[in-house]
């Protein structure tokens, strides 16, 4: 009997040991599943299995941009002047034309005034201030020169390039979304006023135009470049917007 009892006790001990081992395994598996579930919520683990698609790092414009055009064909009005016809026989402008001037007024001064006034308007509407971007300003200034020298007024140049095309490598690598406002005015410069007065006319023209106004007051922009070109009593201004977030 003693041997039988000992055997029974040994079997019971083995069963109890196996039960504890099983319970330990279940607890371990439960903890592991809980950790995986928590990690998936934090975006650390893909729990979709081996068939989950691999998503490339594609730059997409923000939601507010998708449903809105980023260019407007409505010119800023100034003294009833009509944009001239396109002279596509001339080659397109290339590179930054730099500072142009007429009389005592320089394009650099007008650009600075426009940028300041735009930020004042945005501040009045509770919007963030736009940083000035020199590289974007070169894009804008070159387009203003091209419109001036080839006698046209359009977001699309005679070669069919849009603002997004002119941004080159900046879009979409640096700017996820881009926008553009244009202005064309004529002035005799002798009585055309100061840089501030010329900027007033340009900015007021944009604010009086629904499409341009919407562009100025968009929340999504975080930087801009202003490009002004002056020649032959004509001022061409291009305002390019960018959002990097």
pLDDT over 80 (residue 221):
yes
Do residues 235 and 145 make contact, with C-beta atoms less than 8 angstroms apart? no
Q: Is 221 helix (H, G, I), strand (E, B) or coil?
A: coil
Highest mean pLDDT among 190-194, 219-223, 230-234: 219-223
φ, ψ at 105 (rounded to 5°): -105, 130
Q: What is the pLDDT of residue 85?
A: 54
| H/E run at residue 180 | strand 177-186
Whole-angstrom distance, CA of residue 42 vs CA of residue 47? 12
Task: Name residue 226's beta-bridge partners.
Answer: 239
pLDDT over 50 (residue 73):
no
Owner of token pair 């407007």: 72
What mean pLDDT do residues 205-216 have?
89
Mean residue pLDDT across the chain: 74
Q: Are strands 131-132 and 101-102 parallel, antiparallel or unpaired?
A: unpaired
Q: What's the Cα-to-Cα distance from 111 to each of 24, 81, 140, 201, rounded to whole Å?
A: 73, 21, 11, 13
Residues whose CB falls within 8 Å of the CB of residue 161, separated by 6 or more in sequence, listed in order = none
What's the alpha-carbon Rg for the chain, to the nearest Å?
Answer: 32
**What would you measure as the largest C-alpha separation in the chain, in angstroms?**
127
Confidence of residue 2 (pLDDT cuts 50, 70, 90): low
């Amino acid at each position: 009997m003693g041997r039988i009892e000992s055997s029974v006790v040994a079997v019971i001990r083995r069963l109890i040991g196996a039960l504890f081992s099983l319970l330990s395994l279940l607890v371990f598996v439960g903890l592991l599943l809980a950790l995986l579930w928590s990690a998936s919520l934090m975006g650390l683990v893909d729990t979709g299995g081996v068939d989950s698609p691999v998503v490339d790092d594609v730059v997409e414009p923000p939601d507010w941009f998708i449903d809105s055009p980023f260019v407007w064909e409505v010119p800023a009005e100034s003294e009833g002047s009509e944009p001239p016809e396109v002279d596509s026989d001339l080659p397109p402008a290339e590179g930054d034309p730099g500072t142009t001037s007429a009389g005592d007024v320089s394009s650099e001064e007008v650009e600075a005034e426009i940028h300041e006034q735009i930020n004042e308007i945005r501040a009045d509407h509770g919007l963030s201030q736009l940083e000035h971007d020199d590289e974007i300003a070169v894009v804008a200034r070159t387009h203003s020169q091209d419109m001036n020298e080839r006698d046209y007024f359009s977001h699309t140049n005679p070669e069919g390039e849009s603002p997004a095309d002119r941004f080159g490598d900046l879009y979409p690598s640096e700017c996820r979304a881009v926008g553009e406002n244009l202005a064309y005015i004529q002035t005799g410069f002798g009585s055309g006023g100061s840089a501030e007065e010329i900027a007033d006319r340009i900015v007021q023209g944009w604010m009086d135009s629904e499409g341009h106004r919407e562009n100025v007051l968009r929340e999504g922009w975080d930087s801009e470049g202003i490009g002004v070109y002056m020649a032959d009593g004509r001022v061409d201004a291009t305002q390019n917007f960018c959002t990097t977030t």
